[in-house]
C-alpha cells in the first residue's frame, strides 16, 4: 500500500474537503490553510517513497523516479496555487479546493500510468475538474471559457480514444511497453501511423500546441487567475509527462515515424505563439500566447529523443513552474487592486509596489531565457539537446523566437518602470501568504540560474533511469 499512499491520501483529501464544506460550513474560510498544509504533508511523504521502477497491475501502473518527480512538481504547483487563491474572492471554497485536489489526482494517475486506458481515466478526471474550476468566477466570460474548454476537451478526448482504438486494433494491447515491442518488430501500417497521429493530436490539445491551441487565450483570460496559473503549469506538465511516457519510453524505437510531425508542430507553435503575443494588450492573453510558445520549446526535448532531451524537459518544467507562479501571482495582486488585467494598468508599478514589479521582472526575464536566471539554464539544455541531434537549423529558429519573446516581455517591463502614470493604482496590499509565494518563486529562479548543478544532476539521473 505504501506505493499508492500519495494517490490514496490525495483522493481522501478531496473527499474530506467536500464533506467538511457540506457538514461544517463555518470552517470554509480555514480550508485554504487545511488544504495547503495537507498537500505539504503529502509532498513530504512522497520524498520517502521508493522509486525503483516498480510495476503494478501487469504494467498498467509504474512507480519510478520519473513519475515521483512529476507528482512532486504537481503538489508544489497545487500548494502555491491554493495559497495564491486566498486573495481572490472565490465563493464555494470547499468545492474549489476539492476540485483542485481532484485535478491533482488525475495528473498523478496520468504520470504513473503505463497503459493507455489508465492514462485516459486520469486525463478525464483532470479535464472534468478543470472544466468546473474555470467557471468559478461568476461572470459570463468565465462561463464562456468553461464551455469552450468542455467542448474542445471532449473533442480532444474523442481524438485520443480513436487513436487508442487504432493502436489497440493493430497491437492487441494497451500496455505502452508492449505496444512499443510490437511496433518495433514489423512494418508500420497506415492504421498504426494514423493511430499515432491521433494520440499526438489528443495530447497536443492539453499542452496547447499549434494548431490545437485555440482554447488557451480565451480560457486563460476567463478563468480565475489562480486556476489559469495551475492550468498553465500543471496541466501542461502532465501532458508532457504522458507524451514522454508513450513516445520516448514506449515508442522510441519507431521514432522515425513520429518525430517529423513533432518537428512541424514545434515550428508552428514557436512562431505563432511568439508572434501573436506581440500585439496583445491584456496580460493574461499575452501570458497565454507565451505559454503556447513555451510548449514549442518543450517539444525540442522530445525531438532530441535522448536522455539530455528528457532531462532538459524536466529541468525546464521546474523553471516554468516558478516563473509562471510568480507572473500570475503578480497578476492576481494587481487585478485585485485595479479590477483590470490590461497591461496599461501596470504603469509605474515599480513606484506603487517595487516588490511586485521585481517579481514580475524576474519571472518574465526567466521565461525569456535571460542569464543568469533559471530560464536561461533550462533553454540552454533544450537547445543543446537538439544541437546534439544535428538539428542546427531548428536550434537557430528557437533562439530567434526567444529573441522575439524578449520584445513582448520587455513591453510589460517598460510599462511597469517607465509607463505613463496610472490613476487606477493607488496602493496594492499584498497578504503575507502571497508575498511568501512570490518571494519563494523569485529566489528559486535566481538560485537555480546561478547554482543549477544539483538540479541538473537530479534530472539527468531521472532521465537515464527513465530511458533505461
Q: What pLDDT sits at residue 409?
A: 92
User: For 279-321, how does the pLDDT look when each residue is reduced to its tens digit (9 = 90+)?
Assistant: 998 899 999 999 999 999 999 999 988 889 999 999 999 999 9
Is residue 435 one of the residues assigned to a domain? yes
Whole-structure pTM value: 0.92
The number of beta carbons lying within 10 Å of the beta carbon of residue 360 is 29
What are the backbone dihedrals phi and psi of residue 230, each rounded to the nearest 5 degrees, phi first?
-65, -40
Residues 6+ apart with CB under 8 A from 279: none
Is residue 125 one of the residues assigned to a domain? no
Answer whether residue 81 shows pLDDT above 60: yes
Q: What is the mean pLDDT of the chain?
A: 86
Is residue 445 one of the residues assigned to a domain? yes
Helices and strands in the chain, H and E counts: 20, 2
Q: What pLDDT sits at residue 334?
A: 87
Give me the domain span that covers residue 319: 258-468
Is residue 222 one of the residues assigned to a domain? no
Answer whether residue 89 shows pLDDT above 60: no
User: For 107-155, how does the pLDDT look when each residue is reduced to its tens digit (9 = 90+)?
Assistant: 999 998 888 899 999 999 999 998 888 888 777 777 888 888 888 888 8
Is residue 273 one of the residues assigned to a domain? yes
**Cell (9 digits) for 155:** 473533442
Is residue 339 one of the residues assigned to a domain? yes
**Cell (9 digits) for 260:** 517529423
User: For 15-68, how does the pLDDT look when each residue is reduced to its tens digit (9 = 90+)?
Assistant: 988 888 777 766 666 788 888 999 999 999 988 876 666 676 666 788 888 889
The count of structural domains within the chain is: 1
**Cell (9 digits) for 201:** 493530436
Rounded Cα–Cα distance for residues 384 and 313 (Å):
12
Higher local confidence (pLDDT), 160 or 2: 160
Weakest mean pLDDT among 101-110, 162-171, 333-342: 333-342
Is residue 209 one of the residues assigned to a domain? no
Instruction: Give the residue from 231, 206, 215, 285 showing the smallest Cα distance to 85.
Output: 231
Q: Which residues on neighbouring strands pair with residue 54, listed in sequence order? A: 63
Residues 6+ apart with CB under 8 A from 83: 32, 36, 433, 434, 436, 437
Is residue 245 one of the residues assigned to a domain? no
Amino acid at each position: 500500500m505504501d506505493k499508492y499512499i500519495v494517490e490514496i491520501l490525495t483522493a481522501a483529501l478531496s473527499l474530506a474537503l467536500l464533506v467538511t464544506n457540506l457538514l461544517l460550513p463555518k470552517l470554509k474560510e480555514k480550508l485554504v490553510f487545511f488544504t495547503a498544509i495537507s498537500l505539504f504533508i503529502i509532498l513530504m511523504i512522497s520524498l520517502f517513497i521508493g522509486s525503483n521502477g516498480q510495476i503494478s497491475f501487469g504494467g498498467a501502473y509504474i512507480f519510478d523516479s520519473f513519475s515521483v518527480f512529476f507528482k512532486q512538481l504537481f503538489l508544489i504547483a497545487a500548494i502555491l496555487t491554493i495559497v495564491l487563491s486566498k486573495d481572490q474572492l472565490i465563493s464555494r471554497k470547499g468545492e474549489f479546493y476539492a476540485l483542485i485536489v481532484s485535478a491533482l489526482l488525475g495528473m498523478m494517475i496520468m504520470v504513473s500510468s503505463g497503459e493507455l486506458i489508465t492514462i485516459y481515466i486520469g486525463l478525464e478526471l483532470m479535464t472534468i475538474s478543470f472544466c468546473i474550476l474555470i467557471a468559478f468566477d461568476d461572470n459570463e466570460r468565465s462561463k464562456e471559457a468553461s464551455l469552450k474548454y468542455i467542448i474542445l476537451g471532449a473533442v480532444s478526448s474523442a481524438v485520443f480514444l480513436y487513436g487508442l482504438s487504432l493502436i489497440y486494433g493493430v497491437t492487441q494491447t494497451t500496455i505502452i511497453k508492449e505496444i512499443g515491442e510490437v511496433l518495433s518488430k514489423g512494418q508500420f501500417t497506415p492504421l498504426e501511423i494514423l493511430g499515432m497521429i491521433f494520440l499526438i493530436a489528443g495530447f497536443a490539445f492539453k499542452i496547447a500546441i499549434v494548431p490545437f491551441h485555440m482554447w488557451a487565450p480565451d480560457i486563460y483570460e476567463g478563468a480565475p487567475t489562480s486556476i489559469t496559473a495551475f492550468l498553465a503549469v500543471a496541466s501542461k506538465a502532465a501532458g508532457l509527462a504522458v507524451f514522454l511516457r508513450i513516445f520516448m519510453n514506449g515508442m522510441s524505437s519507431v521514432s522515425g515515424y513520429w518525430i517529423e510531425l513533432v518537428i512541424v508542430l514545434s515550428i508552428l507553435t514557436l512562431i505563432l505563439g511568439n508572434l501573436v503575443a506581440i500585439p496583445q494588450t491584456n496580460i493574461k492573453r499575452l501570458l497565454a500566447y507565451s505559454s503556447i510558445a513555451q510548449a514549442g520549446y518543450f517539444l525540442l526535448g522530445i525531438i532530441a529523443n535522448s536522455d539530455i532531451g528528457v532531462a532538459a524537459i524536466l529541468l525546464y518544467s521546474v523553471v516554468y513552474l516558478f516563473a509562471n507562479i510568480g507572473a500570475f501571482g503578480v497578476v492576481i495582486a494587481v487585478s485585485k487592486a485595479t479590477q483590470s488585467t490590461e497591461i496599461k494598468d501596470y504603469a509605474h508599478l515599480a513606484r506603487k509596489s517595487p516588490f511586485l514589479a521585481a517579481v514580475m521582472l524576474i519571472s518574465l526575464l526567466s521565461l525569456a531565457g535571460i542569464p543568469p536566471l533559471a530560464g536561461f539554464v533550462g533553454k540552454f539544455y533544450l537547445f543543446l539537446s537538439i544541437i546534439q541531434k544535428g538539428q542546427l537549423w531548428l536550434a537557430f529558429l528557437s533562439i530567434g523566437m526567444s529573441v522575439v519573446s524578449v520584445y513582448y516581455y520587455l513591453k510589460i517591463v517598460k510599462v511597469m518602470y517607465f509607463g505613463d502614470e496610472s490613476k487606477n493604482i493607488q496602493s496594492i496590499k499584498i497578504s503575507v501568504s502571497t508575498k511568501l509565494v512570490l518571494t519563494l518563486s523569485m529566489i528559486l529562479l535566481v538560485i537555480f540560474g546561478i547554482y543549477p548543478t544539483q538540479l541538473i544532476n537530479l534530472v539527468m539521473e531521472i532521465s537515464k533511469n527513465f530511458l533505461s
